[in-house]
Amino acid sequence: MNTSDLIQPRHLARRAVIYVRQSSPNQVINHQESQRLQRALTQRALEFGWQEQDIQVIDADLGITGTLAQCRLGFQELVAEVALGKIGILLAYEAQRLARNCTHWYQLLDLCGHADCLIADRDGVYDASTVNGRLLLGLK
């Protein structure tokens, strides 16, 4: 199945959210290319069919370690918005950057699967509600 086949009108009716994160203040200052690449996912969302006004960038967790979810206000916002069914697709430069431990990662996958929220990274688009999607995301 072509990754664009996963994106349905029901997904496009909700927001596309790009989650931007770097783990330390040093990375934020000295690795600005990483931020540029993550923010460039806005263009990918446009190519997938989202309108500019329906794309949100969450970058509240710049310079904050991903180890503890309670310290990442942007991650908390993201999880809440997914749970409320407001997000059609969640984009991250690398999917594994969304969560830094298995507990948070698999909880997010479960939530996305139940809320019909797709996950995309630079390699593809995944549906966490399907066996194939969960397998691929689990390997990441």
Residues 51-73 pLDDT 10s: 999 999 998 887 666 565 567 78
Whether pLDDT at 9 is above 90: yes
pLDDT of residue 120: 94
> Residue with structure tokens 């989650």?
19
Catalytic (active site) residue 23:
yes
Residues 17-39 pLDDT 10s: 999 876 666 665 667 777 788 88
Give the strand order in the sheet containing 87-91.
Answer: 55-58, 15-19, 87-91, 118-120, 125-126
Non-local (6+) Cβ contacts of 128 within 8 A are 109, 110, 112, 113, 117, 118, 119, 134, 137
% the chain with pLDDT above 90 = 52
Say which of 4, 23, 24, 129 is annotated catalytic: 23
What SS3 state is found at 99?
coil
Mean pLDDT score, 85-93: 95
pTM for the structure as a whole: 0.87
